Structure 1
Amino acid sequence: MIFYWHMHQPFYRDADSGRYHLPWVYLHAIKDYTDMAEIISQLPGARAVINYVPSLTAQIEDYAAHLRDFLNGDQDQLNDPLLAALADQHGQYDAAGRAFLLESCFRLNHERNMHRYPAYSLLWQMAEHAKSHDATGYLGNSYFTDLVTWYHLAWLGETVRQHNFVARRLIEKAKDFTYQDRRDLITLIASLLDKIPATHRKLVEDGKIELTTTPYAHPIIPLMLDFNTAHETVADALLPAEPYPGGRERAEEHIAMARTHHEQVFGQTPSGCWPAEGAVSDATLGLLGKADFQWCATGEAVLHHSLKYNLREQQGNRDLYHPWLVGKGKEQITCFFRDDRLSDLLGFEYSRWHTQDAVNNFMHELAGIHHRTQGMDAPVVTIIMDGENAWEHYHENALPFLTRLYQSIAENDDYNLTTCSDYLAAHPTTDKLDHLVSGSWVYGNLSTWIGDTAKTRGWELLIEAKHAYDKHIDALSPEQQEAAKEQLRICEGSDWCWWFGDYNPGAAVRDFDSLYRRHLGKLYQLLGCPVPVSLHASISHGGGDAEGGGTMRRGGADS
């Protein structure tokens, strides 16, 4: 059994001001990254593989450094508007600040993380009543200091809320939070952020986890190399009229920078790589193998397409439960494939179940796989999923569920929790896949990032910016070149096109659409070029009601 948790956020930081447009890096860090590490640390039999994308760890380090400087008195402003509101000494906010807090401080799972606290629930009820009567101006300063404090308390990891003295004291106090209360909370947040690299290094040393990486800014490498890979699974996908300029060179840079950054943060060379979104092609895996990665992983449907039959309808799905060799010579690499059914049960279904019922069902599913794979040499079940967005939908941020799940597997003699590298050390891969059909962990295709008008428009704007980059980069000074290179890497990330589409919520689409165009505009500025008028027009408007708010997608359309 391998649990593979993927931790990722795109670049939210503004290149000009250094301020963050969205808070998801530090909020997930103090909740999900902290909880997952603590759960694995405390349970004797728990093991896992955890993937950290460089775009995420770079921002965690930036937040931690900025908070240290603030607390030490080396700077008087925080670079995130929510943290700045929490740190406001006088707790006095202007009309724009109040509107921002009313919009921002209820962005979490209401049932699981807001209404469980009566004082926080009351703040929401007051806001709804005030809005309905056009009376938000009557909400006083103490309302907003309590609101921003509760928002951060509700985003703390469950292990922190249960065991940390500051968190428990403030939750018990419930209201009338002072500046010292808020400063204590900021100190706690800074401490949690600061501990993340060291905590994970210790878990590696203890043999509890394996750490992996993703190409630097989370680009969809198959598309950077060849847009036509999208046609392998979606024949009528709308594609840009020209290829991405210098795509292979760009992909190689993201891969090389990922290895370097991972070594700097975690002090070890990663053996495994999670290609962004599990997006793969023969050429992509060739680059990973050439870069000395020993293994990678992707979605189950990619294997369906590559073998040209539905695995679940033949041989009890046995071919899913062993890794495959892809490529030849120095480009050869082992590929693990995600069990879509089990992974999606964790990601989307079990949060609605009673904890013990969910664990029992998972163990029943696992027993069925064990029965069907009898006679195989070392069958392996690989659970791969978003390690950050699923848990807020669970009771107590999934702490009871994950604890019981790990314990149930570890205590069963039929199963062995391991990591991908440890598995391969004991069971070298022998089965070879002649051709890997291009696709991703979402439906086994690339349609989440290209193929409709909005997503393809996103790529066209990037192509235009890359042409400007190629034309002007050599005329810049070394320092200017480095700034422009970093900005281009940010623009090449996958998250922008992920959100384009009418099936996603309008507010989220608006956020990411605007941020993508700001990033592209900044690239032009760094190149000394005027910002094109085309970047003033929205790419997508959303308006849908995607499952999980659009932050996650199922691996299979029918899973």
Structure 2
Amino acid sequence: MNRSSGEYELPWVRVHGVQEYVDSPRILAEFPDIHVTYNLQPSLLWQIMDYVQISAQEQEKGGLYQYIGAIDDHLKWIWKLITDPASLSADERAKMQQQFFWINGYMFDDDGNDPYFDPRYAELNALKGARPFTDQELMDAAGLSLLWEISPELHDSLGISDLRGKSGFTKDDIIALISAQRTVLSQVVNDYAEVQAMGNELITSPFYHPILPLLCDRGWETEA
């Protein structure tokens, strides 16, 4: 988190939280005879819950905080796009055009009968290096990025499957996807509690990553 802005610069906790962090315990639950140990770091859990919980102060701010409890650069740019696209700088638009495709690209490959192939997202992915996107193309890229960040196994239960391959995303579509991501993030802790009850082990470690002292101690690499 950027302490000066109170916002996250990169979206990785949110992005992994709505796919891998929920897929792993869900898949494990299908194999009750297999037992694993998960290390859930406090700093990770804190960030996940930061996205889930909307404080009274955030509620007063309104805007994006009506739908999710934390903001990263991707969400900030998306909010500008759906409320005041003219406020986006050329640099922000260029970053959106590239970073909205920072994703496991299985939906870009047409294998003939792949239920996860998304022709519109693949079209935009192929186009992203050719010319600047229009506002609507950016809107579609934003919507499809938010959609496919979420585990496709959850699309039906969240009521968002009909957005696959869509061209012409609207503000309401984008808000629905942001709300869906918050819903998924709110399930993460409970999903791990459920597999713990099945005999799997949850452990933890110091609040921040254990290699943080190495990262902050300049010169360590020359002393090794």
TM range (shorter): 0.7 to 0.9
| 1:265-414 aligned within 5 A | none
1:166 matched to which residue of 2? 159
RMSD (Å), alpha carbons? 2.8
Identity rate of aligned residues, in percent?
22
1:154 is matched with 148
> Cα offset for 1:38?
1.6
Partner of 1:211 in structure 2?
A: 202
Whether 1:94 aligns to 2:89 is yes
- Structure number with the bigger relative contact order (C-alpha 8 A, sep ≥ 6) is 2
Q: Residues 91, 164 of structure 1: CA spacing in aligned structure 2 closer, same or farther, 3 A cutoff?
A: farther
Q: Which residue of 2 aligns with 1:391?
A: none
How far 1:125 sits from its partner (Å)? 1.6
Q: Which amino acid aligns with 2:147?
A: L
Change (3 A) 1:461 1:113: farther
State the partner residue of 1:125: 126
**Aligned partners of 2:84, 2:173: CA distance in 1, in Å?**
12
C-alpha distance in 2 between matches for 1:44 and 1:68:
41
1:191 equivalent to 2:183? Answer yes
3-state SS of the aligned residue for 1:211?
Answer: strand
| 1:16 maps to amino acid | S
The number of aligned residues is: 206
Aligned equivalents of 2:138, 2:55: Cα separation in 1: 22
The structure whose Rg is larger is 1
Determine the structure 1 residue equivalent to 2:135.
141
Q: 1:68–1:211: structure 2 CA closer, same or farther, 3 Å change rule? A: farther
Give me the whole-angstrom Cα distance separating, in 2, the residues matched to 1:97 and 1:191. 27
The letter for the 1-side match of 2:40 is Y
> Which residue of 2 is the match for residue 60 of structure 1?
48
Equivalent of 2:102 in 107, 120, 128: 107
Counterparts of 1:91 and 1:164 in 2: how far apart (Å)? 31
Among 17, 20, 29, the alignment partner of 1:41 is 29
How far apart are residue 95 of structure 1 and its match? Answer: 1.8
> In structure 1, what is the Cα distance between the partners aligned to 2:162 and 2:60?
25
Task: Work out whether residues 91 and 145 of structure 1, in 8 Å CA contact, stay in contact via their aligned partners in 2.
Answer: no
Residue 84 of structure 1 and its aligned partner are, at CA, apart by 2.5
From 178, 193, 196, the counterpart of 1:201: 193
**Correspondent of 1:75 among 56, 62, 69:** 62
Structure 1 residue 193, shift from structure 2 partner: 1.0
Deviation at 1:196, TM superposition (A): 1.2
Q: Does 1:26 align with 2:14?
A: yes
Distance 1:84 1:124 in 2: 21
Deviations 1:411-443 (A, max 9, x none): xxxxxxxxxxxxxxxxxxxxxxxxxxxxxxxxx
- Provide the residue aligned with 1:175 in structure 2: 167
Instruction: Write the letter of the residue equivalent to 1:219.
Output: P
Runs of 5+ unmatched residues, structure 1: 1-12, 131-135, 225-448, 450-454, 463-496, 498-559
Cross-structure match for 2:217 = 459
Q: Residue type matched to 1:83 in 2? A: L
Distance change in 2, residues 1:119/1:95 (3 Å): same
- 1-structure distance, mates of 2:36, 2:26: 12
Give the partner amino acid of 1:97.
Answer: E
> CA separation in 2, counterparts of 1:105 and 1:77?
18
User: 1:49 touches 1:212 (CA, 8 Å); kept in 2?
Assistant: yes
Point out 4+ residue stretches in structure 1 off by more than 4 angstroms. 66-70
Give how far 1:209 is off: 2.2
Whether the 8 Å CA contact 1:31–1:156 is kept in 2: the answer is yes
SS of the aligned residue for 1:60 comes to helix
Question: Match for 1:51: what amino acid?
Answer: N
2:114 paired residue number: none
Query: Shift in Å at residue 149 of structure 1?
Result: 1.1
Indicate conservation of the 8 Å contact 2:107/2:121, yes or no: no
The Cα of 1:145 is off from its aligned counterpart by 0.8
Q: Distance in 1 between matches of 2:140 and 2:5?
A: 28
Deviations 1:241-279 (A, max 9, x none): xxxxxxxxxxxxxxxxxxxxxxxxxxxxxxxxxxxxxxx
TM-score, normalization: structure 1? 0.34
Letter paired with 2:19: K
TM-score, scaled to structure 2: 0.79
Q: Check whether the contact 1:38–1:159 (CA below 8 A) recurs between aligned residues.
A: no
Cα offset for 1:181?
0.8
Tell me the CA shift for residue 96 of structure 1. Answer: 2.7
User: SS of 2:38's equivalent?
Assistant: strand
Give unpaired runs (5+ residues) of structure 2: 66-70, 110-116
Tell me the distance in 1 between the aligned counterparts of 2:189 and 2:78: 25
**SS across alignment from 1:108:** coil
Aligned in 2, Cα 1:176/1:46: closer, same or farther, shift over 3 Å? farther
Give the 3-state SS of the residue equivalent to 1:50 in structure 2.
strand
Other-structure match for 1:479? none
- Given that residues 87 and 179 in structure 1 are in contact (C-alpha distance below 8 angstroms), is that contact kept between their aligned partners in structure 2? no
